[in-house]
Structure 1
Amino acid sequence: MTKDFGEFPPSPLTANSPGADFNIVNVGALGARYFTLTRSFRALNQDAADANDPSAAHIIKAFSEIKKGISSSALSFLVAYNALRLYQKILFILLIFIFLPFMLIFFIGFLVRMVFGILRVPVIGTEALGFFCPTTQIQLEIVAKPVEIKRAKINYQSVVSHEHIHLLQYLASAGNPDLRMDVGFQSRVRALVRENVSQEEAAYYLSPYEIEARLHEVVLSFYRESNILPIDYDAFITMINSSGFLGDFY
């Protein structure tokens, strides 16, 4: 916030700094895929009770049950093997050596399929110049794509500022059902937008989180140009009417 306004809080507000430490992760094409895979696996290994999203908690529980099932099967196998007589153990080991080539072929095939499956995992924020992903936030992180930002001729700090608002929204109201894009919200979007407009895109831009983040950009641009912070209705309308003063947008 201090970088955004040059001071915090901007006059005439009096407020404490949010005080949330976070990292900015700069990625390219390969880096975005690496980020997706590493953060997804890290999120899956956390406790379901710590998940900030019900869907994520459900996936984590399912993944945990799979791991428990594998561990239980391996333990049962060891118990059964230890219960065998010596000649049975020898026969079992001989059978393993006989079928080892087939097992290797199966393992290599499984490994290849797993690699291709991983490569097909959707990359977080594919079409975005930066993003904040709530479901991966074990450690607070904002992701930016400097090369794509430069190619789009958008100010890097504007992207970081926008995503920082999403981070603050996450800290202030994560799990608030009033801000979720529920069925009622989707129906209101369908009633509002024209038929030739993408419903998914419209729902994204009209979501409360996104409107708040973009309103921050408008206020920030106006403040940088005029050193005035709108704090009432009349000042807000003045800001909107002064759109010629507005600067970079993301």
Structure 2
Amino acid sequence: MSTGSQAGALPAYLRIAEHLTIEIGAGRLAAGDRLPPERSLAARYGVSMMTLRKALGVVTERGLIERRRGSGNYVLGGARHVGTYALFRLESVPDGGGLPTAELLSLDRIPKPDDLADIGTAPEGWRIRRLRALDGRPVAVEEIWLDGRYEGLRTDHLSESLYKTYAERLDLTIARAEDRVGVGPLPGWAPETLRLAPGTTMGLVERRSFDQYGKPAEASRSWFAPDRARYYARVP
């Protein structure tokens, strides 16, 4: 089964929470920094005060900020990036950051290709193809393979965060990942909205991900435009 429709978007409050989490994790909002006033943040994100405060509540629960009565919201020391996109490594050029979003291009259960990394013993796998954007600008395409031992995946299950979908639908937690970074040609299935010709030399991230039991579960390739995005890996 295939679809050109967009996967379920994260709610507005979660998008805001993710953006703030990314900014804190990258150090652009440092320990002790005071966030802009809530009304200013709500206007910046184009949401109501209720939505903005719900987002701030999520970031507070993650231990990244604290609210000081009569003073505002402040970034806490020792904050770690623990959000939905904690393992997403692409950021905008030239300033970094950017809120990741994803558009589902196709979902198919098919035999695994011979060159696929070991992700389990099932003869078939789920192949997921997506277009990735940062702050609404297309920057990459990705092809993800999930082992076929996981059953019942459907397009209407997939949110912008696959790891969130895995946890909620498949009882699968991606605990760690190994990345290899290089270059490679843009595949022919990339959509026209990326505005790059097939075969264009792209940055390439090859990832193998492991479940909560240490077993391989997923492999992916992400082709990104190096003039639009960079790969970042930060060590605490």
Question: Structure 1 or 2: larger helix share?
Answer: 1
Larger Rg: 1
**Highest RCO, 1 vs 2 (Cα 8 Å, sep ≥ 6):** 1
TM norm structure 1: 0.24
Question: Structure 1 or 2: larger strand share?
Answer: 2
